[in-house]
A = this chain, B = another copy of it.
Amino acid sequence: MQKFDSSTMDFEERVEIDDFESEVMERIYSKPLLIKRVNTTSQIAIVGANVCPVESLDYEVPENELVNEDWRSRRTVQIFQYILLKWAFALIIGLSTGLVGIFNNIAVENIAGFKLLLTTELMLKHKYYKAFAAYAGCNLGLATSAAALCAFIAPAAAGSGIPEVKAYLNGVDAYSILAPSTLFVKVNVIGIVSQYLRRFLSPVIYYLFVLLIYWFTLYAYLITYKTILGQQGNLRCSCIASLIGQGGSRKYHLTWRWLRYFKNDRDRRDLITCGAAAGVAAAFRAPVGGVLFALEEAASWWRSALLWRTFFTTAVVAIVLRGFIQLCSTGTCGLFGQGGLIMYDISAAKVVYSTPDILAVILLGVIGGILGSLYNYLVDKVLRTYSIINERGAAVKILLVIMISLLTSICSYGLPWLATCIPCPADASTSCPNTDVSGNYKSFQCPPGHYNDLASLFLNTNDDAIRNLLSTNTVKEFHISSLLIFFVAVYCLGIITYGIAIPSGLFIPVILAGSCYGRLVGRLFEPISKLDVGLFSLLGAASFLGGTMRMTVSLCVILLELTNDLLMLPLVMLVLLISKTMGDMFNKGVYDQIVKLKGLPYMEAHPDPYMKHLIARDVVTGPLITFSGVEKVGNILLALKNTGHNGFPVIDEPPFSDAPELCGLVLRSQLLVLLKGKAFSKDRVLAGNKVLRKISELDFAKAGSGKGLKLEDLDIQEEEWDMYVDLHPIANTSPYTVVETMSLAKAAVLFRELGLRHMCVVPKSQGRPPIVGILTRHDFQPEHILGLYPHVRFQQ
């Protein structure tokens, strides 16, 4: 154990530590997937070439004089304000997510509608090349602009956002995803609002427009919301910074007292959970499904109170959506039509099934699960490739987007030529061929009275395509060959589109591919099964979702709310269970894979089996830096400068205690605030109330990711280096500890269940230094453990 002593520290020793540490690090992290701790305030996870700095979150409630003082000073009125504010924020999130959802949808429907109308018109005039040019041009222009925005302004906006939110709720803050670069990114990630935005077939059509709408409609929302989340922090951060700069002007911060309680990771976590639920609720118009999604997939911890608040948020979303849809149904929203807020009506189909149907459904589930896990596998491979391509700079990123966009356009426009024209059915409920934006029967190149079934799928918005596939009582509408072509195209395009520099997601592509697969299976089983192909289509979507995302209850409820048909429930449940089971045999869920790929140190709910064979002491590595209860300023500065540690144990020694004892744990961020406050003294004595007078708990309110105080912000004079500072008031006096001989598995459970950032390992026997080491989430990562003990992997 290396310890900064009060007097003997000099330059040579510092270098030595550095060398030792980097050597240790090298020994530990000699694996392909590198996780390195290098720079001062954060750990860097390197995956392929995606550099992604991460920081753990503090969910633990610290206990020290400052917090106690603060707690005593809270009056009932403030606590009431705090609770009220929580609900107010839930309301704001709900309202704004609902508004984003609906405006977004109106924009998308109108832009996509415009593009399709233009193309259809040119087709009708037999100007096929012009039509393609218009179609591909629209796609290309919008895709490029979206990619440019994404590449230059907000690189982290690319992708689904769900893995990052999942990691955040697990306790890992990947700076980039919540970086203050653009408002766009925030809307994108925080609420998974734009979950809904992400389709791939015409994926990039509307981002520019949507951005503008975002900007205007959500300005008020963002000011409040992101302020709380502390990402932009234009209001709050500057405020707090000025406060700290003034050495704690109480007068000023009184105005903001009602907000300061939210400047901590726990409340942010709650808000983000609500946001995740609201996003899914808005995307699928499925309020209960949204809550369950947040519960089953996103959140790592859960409390009943949060369930209730999340439910409130999604209820608000549902009410907003409903209000606007009623408004739009009067035709005031342009080409809005039925809206992309997908709601599929399959209630026309009779749900009566017998044994052959069940067998068909089981087979569908098995194959769907396998195809789903294959999808995961391929997405993983593609992402790894893209991460290498994307590192070459913004221009290459955009080029990639252009190529994918062109490929999509060619497929969408070219493949329908392979289909033969089908005579319109006599009993068609809608006009056939129709020239509307949406609808079943696209004429494409066909003569009057005929339609092109493949064009009905390709040259449509995704929502309409899904609606067509799920339509009941239209068994013969799509040829088996057309379905097969569409399925293969959609499956492949979905895989290669995810991961390019546009904010595209996974839900809609998977549903699209799945429902096509289901309809295909339905057609094949037509001779023996009496179930409607529309129902098969729904079950196919369920099987794909189960096979890729591996959720059960939330998907089930989302599908239920999408289709509004409870009688399907037993079959949907069956398919989801089968496909999830099949998928789990091969690999992990797609979001877990992406979290892994991004190198985010995610804590699994269950420790790996080999952890049973190790004890906590085994994985403690590197030099432990501890401070005395009253420590020299210079030592602290050196420690902060030369290590990347975020937590330092504080040890009381004589004369402050009879024997060395663990007094607490102090965080880097707290030390920085303390040093900034300059509550120093010339002698090595307890500071008593002096610190409390200079700094209040408010000063420790956590700024947004990467927005906190930095070492460079400090202005410590030469003569202050030899002064002392009392760490007792700020140290967390009761960090959670484990005995060194506790098995790693059990320690991991403790770490995960309580959402810790640091866990102190204490010696079993007396008479030794009071702390053996500190465990962080990195120490529980398989890469770390198996780097130290490669042989242990194969033990059961």
Contacts and interface: CB of A to CB of B under 8 A. Distances in A.
A746 B60 CA distance: 9
A51 interface: no
B661 A766 contact: yes
Interface stretch (A123-131, A259-267, A302-310): A302-310
Interface stretch (A22-30, A495-503, A569-577): A569-577
A387 interface: no
Interface in A645-688: 657-662
A450 interface: no
A292 B553 CA distance: 9
A287 interface: yes
Given A304-B296, A553-B311, A569-B287, A76 B659 contact: no
A737 B734 contact: no
B71 A612 contact: yes
A62 to B, nearest CB: 9
Contacts of A734: 738-739, 741-743, 746
A303 B236 CA distance: 37
B765 A288 contact: no
A288 B766 contact: no
Interface in A23-81: 61, 63, 68, 71-72, 74, 76, 79
A360 interface: no
B737 A739 contact: yes
A261 to B, nearest CB: 14
A580 B309 CA distance: 12
Interface stretch (A186-194, A197-205, A556-564, A706-714): A556-564
Given A287-B570, A566-B564, A553 B754 contact: no
Given A318-B569, A573-B318, A658-B767, A746 B308 contact: no
Contacts of A606: 303, 305
A552 interface: yes
Contacts of A322: 570
Nearest to A563: B566
A65 to B, nearest CB: 13
A76 B796 contact: yes
A767 B606 CA distance: 37
Count copies of this chain in the complex: 2
A63 B746 contact: yes
A527 to B, nearest CB: 23
A307 B299 CA distance: 14
A766 B307 CA distance: 44
A319 interface: yes
Contacts of A304: 296, 605
A606 B733 CA distance: 21
B311 A552 contact: yes
A746 B577 CA distance: 39
A556 B743 CA distance: 43
B566 A312 contact: no
Interface string A534-570: 0000000000000000001100110011001011011
B765 A754 contact: no
A291 interface: yes
Contacts of A352: 326
Contacts of A82: none
A315 interface: yes
Contacts of A305: 605-606
A574 B754 contact: no
Contacts of A311: 552-553, 556, 573, 577
A764 interface: yes
Interface string A417-454: 00000000000000000000000000000000000000
A415 B202 CA distance: 67
Contacts of A660: 766
Interface string A593-622: 000000000000110000010000000000
Contacts of A552: 307-308, 311
A750 interface: yes
Contacts of A659: 765-767
A629 interface: no
A749 interface: yes
A377 interface: no
Interface string A627-643: 00000000000000000
Contacts of A661: 764-766
A5 interface: no
A549 to B, nearest CB: 12
Given A577-B311, A736-B750, A570 B319 contact: yes
A654 to B, nearest CB: 12
B580 A308 contact: yes
A570 B318 contact: yes
Nearest to A308: B552
B736 A573 contact: no
Interface string A742-754: 1100100110011
Given A566-B564, A570-B318, A766-B767, A733 B741 contact: yes
Nearest to A584: B308
A770 interface: yes
Nearest to A71: B612
Contacts of A63: 742-743, 746
Given A303-B605, A318-B569, A553 B767 contact: no
A155 to B, nearest CB: 31
Interface in A272-289: 287-288
A599 B605 CA distance: 33
| 8 closest Cβ pairs, A-B complex | A734-B742, A315-B573, A659-B766, A318-B570, A564-B566, A753-B753, A319-B570, A766-B766
Given A68-B612, A659-B767, 14 more contacts: A61-B746, A288-B553, A288-B556, A288-B560, A296-B307, A302-B302, A303-B606, A315-B570, A315-B573, A315-B577, A318-B573, A560-B566, A659-B766, A734-B739
14 contacts: A76-B796, A288-B556, A288-B560, A291-B553, A303-B605, A304-B605, A326-B352, A659-B767, A661-B765, A662-B764, A734-B739, A734-B741, A737-B737, A766-B767
